[in-house]
């Protein structure tokens, strides 16, 4: 997918479609902006007037709770007006239908679309067809990308482990094959020169040619999380699986479910992450999910500041386009 369209000729964010196409400086700038916005979220009056008078539409073609609500809160904390439109309809990007929806919303003078869609490439397609002043943020497209999730994960790691990713070993465990989150995380971790990136999954849930993504592949949990600084677990995406890729959830839990006992293989100060929603007793035990190493709820909190940063930076492009 061509990502050049997300950066303008001044090197600023115009849309935010994927981690690919960002450079390390821009990625770090977004994280730094998020760091300053996280202060806003902790104030008694949780608002800044940055996007006052702007209209943002959450255009969700696929169900979501935390992503949609954190985008909504982020927009509100930036003082924008935000509208939630949930269109649950079957797969394929139906060129005309989708374009008609867009044109109608554009006629209402919308400034930004936050798009989630079950088809890979949907946000790119929309970005190709919006008016020049409108920005598009990808909130998850098919199995392709979920760039704001990857950013909030990186933000969380940086908060806990510090800015030097070169000394970190990060293991991503679970259904890598169907995960847009894993793909975006791997690009972001590579961009920050992470010491070692591992993916740990059954063979049936490992993408073909995974090594070409710059990761080490493991099919055994204990070896895969050995001496890990960070373990990111992913949900089994049953809704995206065709046929019997898994014998049973119970067997998956036996082999790949993370328990307190299995955690002993990782570093003593290992950080445990999950983008949610968690399947307790499948990907991990409650003891791990709610335990002292878990930053799963902090990830949700950080999602607001990171989304405030992305939205305000992409909207800023619009201001400068009319200079
Ligand atoms: C992820 C998603 O929707 O891609 N969840 C999320 O954004 N909170 C991961 C998942 O659904 O497993």
When computed from its CA atoms, the radius of gyration of the chain, rounded to whole angstroms, is: 19
Q: What are phi and psi of 296, to 5 degrees?
A: -60, -40
Calpha distance 121→48 (Å, rounded): 33
Residue-level pLDDT at 41: 77
Give distance in angstroms: CA of 181 to centre of ligand 1: 7
Calpha distance 57→105 (Å, rounded): 8
What string of DSSP letters covers 164-193?
-GGG-EEEEES--TT-HHHHHHHHHHHHTT
Give distance in angstroms: CA of 278 to centre of ligand 1: 10
Report the relative pairing of strands 112-117 and 81-86 from DSSP bridges: unpaired
- Which CATH code fits 147-294? 3.40.50.1370
Residue-level pLDDT at 134: 95
Nearest residue CA, atom 1 of ligand 1?
275
Domain 3-144+301-317 and domain 147-294, same fold? Reply is yes
Q: Which of 58, 67, 234, 302 to mutate to test the pocket of ligand 1 (most atoms within 8 A of CB)?
A: 67
Calpha distance 153→145 (Å, rounded): 14
Q: What are phi and psi of 193, to 5 degrees?
A: 55, 45
Calpha distance 295→180 (Å, rounded): 20
Instruction: Say if residues 213 and 238 touch (Cβ distance below 8 Å).
Output: no
C-alpha to C-alpha distances, 82 to 138, 253, 273, 293, 312, nearest whole angstrom: 16, 40, 29, 35, 14
C-alpha to C-alpha distances, 317 to 13, 120, 133, 230, nearest whole angstrom: 6, 25, 9, 34
Q: Which of 60, 66, 68, 149 to mutate to test the pocket of ligand 1 (most atoms within 8 A of CB)?
A: 149
Measured from CB, residues less than 6 Å from any atom of ligand 1 are 66-67, 140, 146, 149, 180-181, 235, 237, 275-276
Q: Which atom of ligand 1 is nearest to the CA of 149?
A: 7
Give distance in angstroms: CA of 222 to centre of ligand 1: 25
Calpha distance 25→7 (Å, rounded): 13
Nearest residue CA, atom 7 of ligand 1?
67
Calpha distance 7→255 (Å, rounded): 42
Give distance in angstroms: CA of 201 to centre of ligand 1: 17
Which H or E run includes 246?
none
Beta bridge partners of 182: none
Q: How many residues does the chain have?
A: 323
Give distance in angstroms: CA of 118 to centre of ligand 1: 11
Instruction: Say if residues 112 and 71 touch (Cβ distance below 8 Å).
Output: no
Give distance in angstroms: CA of 78 to centre of ligand 1: 24
Sequence spans of domains, the chain: 3-144+301-317, 147-294
> Virtual CA dihedral for 147, 52, 73, 126, nearest 10 degrees?
-40
Q: Which atom of ligand 1 is nearest to the CA of 235?
A: 12
Is the alpha carbon torsion for 138, 60, 35, 274 positive or negative?
negative
C-alpha to C-alpha distances, 194 to 29, 152, 187, 191, nearest whole angstrom: 18, 16, 10, 8
Q: Which atom of ligand 1 is nearest to the CA of 66?
A: 8
Sorted by sequence, the CB contacts under 8 Å of residue 94 that are 6+ apart come out as none
- Which CATH code fits 3-144+301-317? 3.40.50.1370
Q: What are phi and psi of 294, to 5 degrees?
A: -80, 135
Q: Which atom of ligand 1 is nearest to the CA of 140?
A: 4
Per-residue pLDDT for the chain (323 aa), expressed as one digit of tens each?
555 689 988 889 999 999 999 999 999 999 999 999 998 877 888 899 999 999 999 999 998 999 999 999 999 999 999 999 988 754 445 556 788 888 888 999 999 999 999 999 999 999 999 999 999 999 999 999 999 999 999 999 999 999 999 999 999 999 999 999 999 999 999 999 999 999 999 999 999 999 999 999 999 999 999 999 999 999 988 777 776 677 788 899 999 999 999 999 999 999 999 999 999 999 999 999 999 999 999 999 999 999 999 999 999 865 554 44
Q: Which of 64, 70, 296 to mutate to test the pocket of ligand 1 (most atoms within 8 A of CB)?
A: 64
Q: Which atom of ligand 1 is nearest to the CA of 237?
A: 12
Query: Rounded to the nearest 5 degrees, what angle is found at the Cα of 289, between the Cα atoms of 152 and 301?
Result: 30
Give distance in angstroms: CA of 180 to centre of ligand 1: 8
Hey, what are 293's tokens?
């190493």
């Amino acid at each position: 997918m061509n990502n050049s369209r997300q950066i303008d000729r001044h090197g600023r964010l115009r849309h935010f479609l994927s981690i690919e196409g960002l450079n390390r400086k821009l990625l770090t700038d977004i994280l730094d902006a998020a760091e300053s916005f996280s202060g806003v979220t902790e104030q008694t009056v949780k608002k800044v007037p940055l996007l006052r008078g702007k209209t943002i539409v959450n255009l969700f073609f696929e169900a979501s709770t935390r992503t949609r609500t954190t985008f909504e809160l982020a927009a509100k904390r930036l003082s924008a007006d935000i509208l939630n439109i949930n269109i649950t309809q079957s797969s394929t990007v139906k060129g005309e239908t989708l374009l008609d929806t867009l044109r109608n919303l554009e006629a209402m003078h919308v400034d930004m679309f936050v798009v989630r869609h079950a088809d890979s490439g949907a946000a790119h397609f929309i970005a190709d067809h919006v008016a020049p002043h409108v920005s598009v943020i990808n909130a998850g497209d098919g199995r392709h990308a979920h760039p704001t999730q990857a950013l909030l994960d990186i933000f969380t790691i940086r908060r806990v482990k510090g800015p030097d990713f070169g000394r970190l070993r990060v293991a991503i465990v679970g259904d890598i094959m169907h995960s847009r989150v894993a793909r975006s995380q791997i690009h972001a971790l590579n961009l920050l020169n992470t010491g070692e990136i591992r993916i740990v999954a059954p063979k049936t849930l490992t993408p073909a040619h995974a090594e070409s993504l710059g990761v080490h592949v493991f099919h055994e949990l204990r070896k895969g999380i050995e001496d890990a600084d960070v373990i990111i677990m992913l949900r089994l995406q049953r809704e995206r699986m065709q046929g019997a890729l898994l014998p049973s959830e119970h067997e998956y839990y036996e082999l790949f479910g993370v328990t307190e006992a299995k955690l002993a293989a990782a570093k003593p100060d290992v950080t445990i992450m999950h983008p949610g929603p968690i399947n307790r007793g499948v990907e991990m035990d409650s003891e791990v999910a709610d335990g002292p190493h878990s930053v799963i709820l902090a990830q949700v909190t950080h999602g607001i500041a990171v989304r405030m940063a992305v939205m305000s930076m992409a909207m800023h492009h619009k201001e400068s386009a009319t200079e």
